[in-house]
Amino acid sequence: MNAKTPSYHGYRFPSEIISHAVWLYYRFCLSFRDVEYLLAERGVIVSYETIRQ
């Protein structure tokens, strides 16, 4: 198996942040706004609409 980091070329945020947001959303059944607040506590300013996309 080839464990490859997904390519998010052309996106505003680094792949680590995108992957973390997706992980939070699915792992803890959070809303987009909940993910927005958790990332904001870590210094990542992103809107819930960006997370939705």
Q: Domain ranges in the chain?
A: 15-52
Report the pLDDT value the prediction gives residue 51, as an integer from 0 to 100: 87
* Under 8 Å between Cβ of 45 and 17: no
Please give the pLDDT value at position 39.
93
Whether pTM exceeds 0.85: no
Please give the pLDDT value at position 32.
93
Compare 12 and 27 and report the one with higher pLDDT: 27
Question: CA angle at residue 17 from 12 to 18, to 5 degrees?
Answer: 70
Q: pLDDT (tens digit, 9 = 90+) per residue, 13-39?
A: 888 888 899 999 999 999 999 999 999
- In this structure, the number of other CB atoms found within 10 A of the CB of residue 36 comes to 20
> Quick one: pLDDT at residue 9?
78
The C-alpha atoms of residue 32 and residue 21 are separated, in whole angstroms, by 9
